[in-house]
Chain A
Amino acid sequence: MATTDQYSGGGIVNAGDLPDKPAPIRTDGAIAWMRDNLFDGVSNTLFSLVAFALVLYVLPPALGWLIFNANWSGGAEACRINPDAACWPFVGARWEQFLYGFYEKSERWRLNIILAVLALGIAWLVWEKAPARKFAALFMLSVFPVFAFIMMYGNETLGLPIVDTPQWGGFTLTLVIALSGIVASMPLGILLALGRRSKMPVVSLLSTVFIEFWRGIPLVAVLFMATIMFPLFLPAGVTFDQLLRAVIGVSLFASAYMAEVVRGGLQAIPKGQYEGAMALGLPYPKMMRLIILPQALKIVIPGIVNTFIGLFKDTTLVLIIALFDLLGIVQASIADPNWSIKSVPYTGYVFVAISFWICCYGMARYSRYLEAKLHTGHER
């Protein structure tokens, strides 16, 4: 043994270094894991059993409806014969409409290009090892919106026939509203948060009034006002695109929430960070951009993503002002008499739910990843 204690006089001296031992293994196999984690103690065992019972009760019928008994082919006829399970042929027959809305059929390639560039751009931004990611961010925030708008709306001189906004719809419309809202609400929210904390009373008051105004009214009311009341204030003959009004409404609404999230982050930054930056001679804008905001925003990533997810789902409300986003278009298709089958509405709504869930869960995962990546050890 290398490590016998030796006694010299009255004290104890350790003769050598202790060898490294492997960490004790607490779990050896599934049974032990279950015993340690699911069935240790009466209440935990009870909880586990109740949870198992619930899963057993809910899961098989759900999977049966969604997958195993579902109609996967054969059109409306098959669904009519088996109406007690999902009718996926309905989605199969309508998916183009769900994706593109009433967008001119011959021009849909334009949307495909936009979606492809968008997907590539997001991949470029998210993939950490990609080169020139700063350039990607710049491109996606400045060039891409202009490019996407021209492609989508059309431009006679470029030989792209105009496809006006009432024809936009489906998932592409959901993306248009949600992404504009996200991209606009972030900087606006940051400015409002800084404004609300400003030492200048006028700036602070205006920001506060703005935030509390938008936070205090329901989004549905905002959208109704944008559609019905807003035109009353415009001079006769001046029109203002319906979709643009909705986008502005959603953006302002989301920016008020964003402002409060960001303000929470700003409040968590200790005074010493400001003093450290000021003592180095950094002027206010640089101090904010380089020191305070990076830390404040990092703290509130969960809140920011939460707001984004809320905004993404809130876009479905535009269906009440006669814009056909994904939910709106699915709802419209359900009414088709050729598909008047019991399972079709359920299938449609489940499809919408799954589509939204995938997008929102993706955002949630990315936020978790970002949090982990930006963690820089113990903070004081």
Chain B
Amino acid sequence: MQVSEERVINIADMNKWYGQFHVLKDINLTVNRGERIVICGPSGSGKSTLIRCINRLEEHQQGSINVDGIELNNDLKNIDAIRREVGMVFQHFNLFPHLTVLENCTLAPIWVKKMPKKEAEEVAMKYLERVRIPEQADKFPGQLSGGQQQRVAIARSLCMNPKIMLFDEPTSALDPEMIKEVLDVMIELAREGMTMICVTHEMGFAKTVANRVIFMDGGQIIEENEPEEFFNNPQSERTQLFLSQILNH
């Protein structure tokens, strides 16, 4: 798993508020190409908000976010450009229920990248094979299991050929027996060198693929370390408390 020296995400002194509520405080984070970052922390600590700022599903008010050389500001062109480079997988899949699995996957390539339909379908089938559900291509999302739906969602993102993938608790809406099939796909993706930022509480996954684990609490990054150090030798008290809670339960 190669990590290059090239920075693809650079977040500097970023702050965000919801009304009066200071949800992200002085966030500084850099991600190199090929790096795999796992973000964890208690509920409400701002993990989702942080990664949603990276593709502008949420707007930050202070500081800067730079993705692959593109500065995130109110320029719609920049936002579109960044969204084309950054794929996102959600907790609740957010597949389009009125379109088939194949159409879910070809929609953005056809309408955003202007790819010819036939080519888009070939690309889509390639990724559906990668996530091991090519046989479901003509079904509707509502006819699939949760694990299958999440794998379709991953394939749908990959069809845009993103440079960075964001995952927001991709397995926490799934039944236990389906978690593995999704994690396997994500591990494979990591092995192929995809730059990934995952919000997850799957500590096994973090140990297997992460270069760095980030612990957030109260809108701040409390601790940031390599997985081994992070789990065996957590520095902050809050991290220790959090780890003891999730590992003992």
Chain A interface residues toward B at CB < 8 A:
272-273, 275-283, 286, 290-291, 294-295, 298, 374, 376-380
Contact = CB atoms under 8 A, between A and B. Distances in A.
Contacts of A376: 97-98, 140, 142-143
Nearest to B92: A272
Contacts of A286: 111-112
Interface residues of B, number: 28
B71 to A, nearest CB: 17
B98 A282 contact: no
Nearest to B88: A279
Nearest to B100: A376
B80 interface: yes
Interface string B101-114: 00000011001100
A105 B183 CA distance: 76
22 contacts: A272-B90, A272-B94, A278-B55, A279-B57, A279-B90, A280-B108, A281-B80, A281-B108, A281-B160, A282-B112, A283-B80, A286-B111, A290-B107, A294-B98, A295-B96, A295-B98, A374-B98, A376-B97, A377-B97, A379-B97, A380-B93, A380-B142
A377 B97 CA distance: 8
B142 A377 contact: yes
A181 B88 CA distance: 43
A268 to B, nearest CB: 12
Contacts of B108: 280-282
B90 A295 contact: no
A70 to B, nearest CB: 49
B94 A379 contact: no
Contacts of B107: 280, 282, 290-291
A225 B5 CA distance: 73
Interface string B83-99: 11011101011111110
B156 interface: yes
Contact of A275 (B57, B86, B141): B57
Contacts, number: 76
Closest 9 CB pairs of A and B: A377-B142, A276-B94, A281-B83, A280-B108, A279-B88, A376-B140, A272-B94, A378-B142, A377-B143
A90 B193 CA distance: 83
B90 A379 contact: no
A298 B160 CA distance: 28
Given A376-B98, A377-B142, A379-B97, A282 B90 contact: no
A273 B96 contact: yes
Given A281-B80, A281-B160, A291-B96, A379 B112 contact: no
Interface string B135-147: 0000011110000
Nearest to B142: A377
Nearest to A281: B83
A281 B96 contact: no
Given A290-B111, A295-B97, A295-B98, A280 B160 contact: yes
A200 B87 CA distance: 28
A290 to B, nearest CB: 6
B171 interface: no
B195 interface: no
Contacts of B157: 279-280
Contacts of B160: 280-281
B142 A273 contact: no
A290 B141 CA distance: 16
A280 B90 contact: no
Contacts of B142: 376-380
